[in-house]
Homo-oligomer: A and B are copies of this chain.
Amino acid sequence: MKKAVVLVSGGLDSATTLYIAKSMGYECYALSFDYGQKHRAELNAAKLVVEKAKAAGHHIVDLDLRQFGGSALTDDHIKVPDNKDIAADEIPVTYVPARNTIFLSIALGYAEVLGASDIFIGVTAVDYSGYPDCRPEFIASFERMANLATKMSVEGQKIKIQTPLIDLSKAKIIERGTELDVPYADTVSCYNADDQGRACGTCDSCTHRTIGFQQAAVPDTTRYV
């Protein structure tokens, strides 16, 4: 059975990605990060989702990105904006500097130790916040770099960064995940989620999610405050 490392934040996209990786026949090793995010409730969601998916392993890595700050998700002085207050061509302040690069790099180390050939990440470049590290050109470049970085690459074992959601709208992601029985009620996407994982309904992440459920005509089981 081929092994894969799957980045699981606890949100809708990464949960769907985990279930897709499983449906493709991979033995899945989940990786989450306690990076000082305000919406720590997503970590409980990650645990629930990984358990239900019966993943082969799950690491929650402590990495304090608050020491650098620079994002509304890691700095108490920067407020998470409502979706309506973000200009269409703007990368919002919820962008966390180099986050996906950091997460993928640690996933690469984990993959090499496991002997895994694939890393799954639930980025999408359709209904998304415009983060640069969600774009296909970034992912392709990371994969090229990863195949020069490791002992396993020198020995001829290629690593593939798998992005099954990259071209999908939020509605299409939800349709696919619903077919796969992804437990969406357990997932937390909200940047302002409270301790119980209840969502604000107005941040960028909530907005994409809410519209996605509407467009997919799938009942939205998200718990709102």
Interface residues of A (CB under 8 A from B): 59, 61-65, 67-70, 91, 95-102, 104-106, 108-110, 112-113, 132-133, 135, 137-138, 141-142, 144-146, 148-151, 153-154
Contacts and interface: CB of A to CB of B under 8 A. Distances in A.
19 contacts: A59-B68, A61-B63, A61-B64, A61-B67, A65-B109, A68-B109, A68-B110, A70-B113, A91-B154, A95-B151, A97-B109, A97-B113, A98-B149, A98-B150, A101-B149, A135-B148, A141-B145, A142-B145, A145-B145
For A59, A98, A133, A154, the residue with the greatest tally of chain B CB atoms inside 10 Å of its CB is: A98
Given A62-B64, A99-B109, 17 more contacts: A59-B67, A61-B64, A62-B63, A68-B113, A70-B109, A96-B109, A97-B110, A97-B150, A98-B105, A98-B150, A101-B105, A104-B105, A132-B151, A133-B150, A135-B148, A138-B148, A141-B148
Given A67-B61, A148-B132, A101 B108 contact: yes
Contacts of A65: 109
Contacts of A98: 105-106, 108-109, 112, 146, 149-150
Interface majority SS (helix, strand, loop, mixed), chain A: helix
> How many copies of the shown chain assemble into the complex?
2
Nearest to A147: B141
Given A97-B151, A99-B109, A113-B68, A138 B145 contact: yes
A1 B108 CA distance: 35
B112 A132 contact: no
Contacts of A142: 145, 149
A101 B145 CA distance: 9
A136 to B, nearest CB: 10
Q: Which residue, of A112, A132, A145, A153, has the highest number of chain B Cβ atoms within 10 A?
A: A145
